[in-house]
Structure 1
Amino acid sequence: MKLRNETKTSGNPLFSGWYADPEARIFEGKYWIYPTYSAPYEEQTFFDAFYSEDLVTWNKVERILEMKDISWAHKAMWAPSPIEHKGKYYYYFAANDIQSNDELGGIGVAVADRPEGPFKDALGKPLVDQIYHGAQPIDPHAFIDDDGQAYLYYGGWGHCNVVKLNDDMISIGTFEDGTTYKSITPDKFIEGPCMIKREGKYYFMWSEGGWGGPNYSVAYAIASSPLGPFQREKKILQQDPDVATGAGHHGMIQIPEKDEWYIVYHRRPLTETNHNHRAVCIDRLYFDEGGYIKPVKITFEGVTAHPSSNFSK
């Protein structure tokens, strides 16, 4: 008897609700997505998180960090990037949307013992609270290299900086040349930096275009150092007139010990005009034989199940 093919896919969006700017991680044997709650600034007062054991079925953890627990945050919080280091979870985020060095805000850091939090303010003040090299202190992305050195990439207004994080993950170190904030802005960079490492090469990605419009997209560069230089290659994620618009600001998942990659991003439904109506989606990302990233096909189907229980198999 022939059985029906009932291969289950995640579908896109992955879960209900207006969410954006997703960071994607694997923590404690589960897939995690940490997004912005996509709403007007005055309503962006908390963060939720989502986890899955197979990339298909997602579970929501509500309010893992709230504005009321961040003494200096008052306007909005968005674009989180958590990372694990020595058994602790460090959660970097943007708050207050500062427009000058005379305002209080920038990039904060919270800490927790578990991926689901609750996260607590680690400093009682922003980690990055000034505008350096023209980069608005927003959209942090944490990356730990193979040698254990942690970096924080961030930036808006068309400028991108990187800083070295000290081993405590809540203070900033200096580079060999004595500088603290290093400008690494590639061509057409707007915001939303993201870094991965594959086969000894550093793949630096970022968002281009306006976040509220249909042309929001992702491009990338390849370098031999986490500090660049980063020469733009091409776009790898953008709108599809048959699927959705405004596809951008993403995170990445690599299946452990495999060259299998997924891009987690937000996009806007075709019929939607509200800038804040953004939804989190996932699709496969492939490399060609030369090590370049192939353009991503955005889909309604999403991806097939990949149980996290298979990580060590």
Structure 2
Amino acid sequence: MKNCYLLVIASILILQSCAQNKPTESKTKATSGNPIWEGWYADPEGIIFDDKYWIYPTYSAPYDEQVFMDAYSSSDLVNWTKHERIVDTSAVKWVKRAMWAPAIVKKDSKYFLFFGGNDIQSDNEYGGIGIAVADKPEGPFKDYLGKPLIDKFYNGAQPIDQFVFQDKDGSYYIYYGGWRHCNVAKLSDDFKSIVPFEDGTLYREVTPESYVEGPFMFIRDGKYYFMWSEGGWTGPDYSVAYAIADSPFGPFKRIGKILQQDPNIGRGAGHHSVIHENKSDKWYIVYHRRPLTETDGNHRVTCIDEMFFDENGLIKPVVMTNEGVEINSLK
């Protein structure tokens, strides 16, 4: 009888073990969800390289802890892979803190990552906008210049929040600026210097009404769409506005806001970028916002939603969601 009892117990344990080890059915995410990954990240730069979407954000933390950057990649906008510490202050030794707001371009088989460093408050401090370079979009990136590319307050613009834009003729321009001033400058072919415009100036101010920081530019139907962030970055009024012009130099007459807080979704929505997927002709806005449960200024998350245009080419107000976007595979 004892042996029979032990046999029954053994059978039960085997059945339980089999049940525990039975493969579970994997559930495919229908949408990206917002935020699109865990953790505090802000100022996202979204772009497509070859067959992948990439997002390069700021690590959102106290300035002295912002000494590295991560990146994320996806082939479908829904499933994301984290690439840790693609660059840090051990690779860019002149940066001590506040490594901010990456912008990236691919040129001549190299990836150039532009960033702000040290949050300088005057021309007497050392820092500004720098460049790192890598052979792959996930890095590792190394310092390209060994010093800042832009390190002074030209036209009153703090040297932060840069965006690098390639015009129709192949020229590269850098738009940047905090403290309610925005400059544009032309980059040399090797990205090692600023070259003068035809009138001899190096930095041209293009500040639109209500501009605060975070410029971004794209071309659609031959028009230049210039976008920026307004309000205070720690406040609920942080938002995105835009203008349309016939030239990359403006004039940029403000049309209105297209992204702002939603009391049911999140606050402080801003500092964005735009991804255009040509195959489907879908437009996406990648941005950060503060969850309704958070009051810490650094508690920002990266989100993505679709962006639409009306029949006149104006950008429709963005509807922030918790669902995010549907799968859009590049393969």
Pairwise same-fold verdict (TM > 0.5): yes
Q: In the alignment, which residue of structure 2 is the partner of 1:106?
A: 128
Corresponding residue to 1:202 among 192, 203, 224: 224
CA–CA distance in structure 1, aligned partners of residues 208 and 69 of structure 2: 30
* Structure with the largest fraction of helix: 2
Superposed CA offset, 1:141-187 (max 9, x none): 11111211111100000000011111112321111111110100000
Q: Tell me which residue corresponds to 2:77.
A: 55
1:257, distance to aligned residue in structure 2 (A)? 4.7
Return the TM-score normalized by structure 2.
0.90
Q: What SS does the aligned partner of 1:42 have?
A: helix
**RMSD, aligned CA:** 1.0
What is the CA–CA distance in structure 2 between the aligned matches of 1:257 and 1:176, rounded to whole Å?
37
Letter in 2 for 1:122: Y
Amino acid in the other structure paired with 1:282: I
Structure-1 residue corresponding to 2:238: 216
Aligned to 1:295: 317
Match of 2:203 in 1: 181
Residues 23-71 of structure 1 deviation map (CA, whole Å, 9 limit, x = unaligned):
0010121000000000000100000000000000110000000012112
Distance between the aligned counterparts of 1:161 and 1:274, measured in 2? 30
CA distance in 1, matches of 2:296, 2:45: 22
83, 106, 110: which one pairs with 1:84?
Answer: 106
After superposing the two structures, state which structure 1 stretch, 281-290 or 248-257, moved more: 248-257
Q: How does 1:140-179 map to 2 (within 5 A)?
A: 140-179=162-201
1:72 aligns with 2:100: no
Whole-angstrom distance in 2 between the partners of 1:95 and 1:211: 17
- 2:64 corresponds, among 18, 34, 42, to 42
The separation in 2 between residues aligned to 1:236 and 1:160, in whole angstroms, is: 19
Provide the residue aligned with 2:54 in structure 1.
Answer: 32
Could you tell me how far apart the structure 2 residues matched to 1:245 and 1:163 are? 32
Per-residue deviation, residues 243-262 of structure 1 (Å, max 9, x unmatched): 00000000110002553200
Q: 1:71 to 1:266 in 2, by over 3 A?
A: same
Deviation at 1:216, TM superposition (A): 0.4
Distance (Å, rounded) in 1 between the aligned partners of 2:185 and 2:281: 28
Q: Distance in 1 between matches of 2:277 and 2:99?
A: 30
Unaligned runs of 5+ in 1: 1-5
Identity %: 62
Give the CA deviation at 1:188. 0.2
Query: How many angstroms does 1:236 deviate by?
Result: 0.3
Q: TM-score w.r.t. structure 1 length? A: 0.96
* Contact 2:29-2:78 at 8 Å conserved across structures: no
Alignment of 1:215-234 (within 5 A): 215-234=237-256
Aligned to 1:264: 286
Q: Distance in 2 between matches of 1:127 and 1:291?
A: 35
What does residue range 107-126 of structure 1 map to in structure 2 within 5 Å? 107-126=129-148
1:304 aligns with 2:304: no
Counterpart for residue 269 of structure 2: 247
SS in 1 for 2:90: helix
- 1:86 deviates by 1.5
CA shift digits 1:188-240 (9 cap, x unpaired): 00000000110100000000000011110000000001111100000000000
For 2:75 and 2:196, how far apart are their aligned partners in 1?
Answer: 38
Structure having the higher Rg: 2
Give the Cα–Cα distance (whole angstroms) in 2 for the partners of residues 95 and 290 of structure 1: 40
Q: Which residue of 2 aligns with 1:3?
A: none
- Give, in whole Å, the separation in 2 of the partners of 1:117 and 1:170: 19
What's the secondary structure of 2:195's corresponding residue? coil
SS in 2 for 1:133: helix
Matched, 1:138 2:181: no
Tell me, in whole angstroms, the C-alpha distance in 2 between the residues paired with 1:127 and 1:84.
18
